[in-house]
Amino acid sequence: MIPGTWYIVAVLAIAFIITLALRAIPFAILKPLRESKIVRALSVWMPVGILAILAASTFQSTIIDNARYVMPAIVAAAVTIAVHLVFGRRTLLSVGLGTLTFVVLVNLPL
């Protein structure tokens, strides 16, 4: 049995409302907290912490899976850190160039 048009419209409307609410609620909750010292500290340290955890996880899996990727990973991490510090903490640029460095080094013929 094929659902009717109004059934599909109702499902889409409910999905739209839930999605909109889930995206708006964090901003509504955060508005009164904008002046909080904790929120300001988290906004500084969370990106660094997330990247550090990601880097540690990547290095661990790299060393376990294939030891030949260790040196390219270390060089790529150094490039990422250097670009991040030299070019004004532009995360997208530093992560992009670090990733590019790793891909190029891994694919170089030995």
The reply to whether the predicted model has a pTM over 0.95 is: no
Listed in sequence order, the DSSP H helices in the chain are: 5-30, 37-65, 70-86, 91-107
Domain spans of the chain, in order of start: 1-34, 37-110
- Please give the Cα distance from 39 to 26 (Å, whole number): 13
pLDDT band per the 50, 70, 90 thresholds, residue 48 = confident
What is the average pLDDT across 3-17?
A: 93
Query: Can you give the pLDDT at residue 75?
Result: 94
Q: What does the pLDDT look like over 71-110, one tens digit per residue? A: 998 999 899 999 999 998 888 999 899 999 999 999 998 6
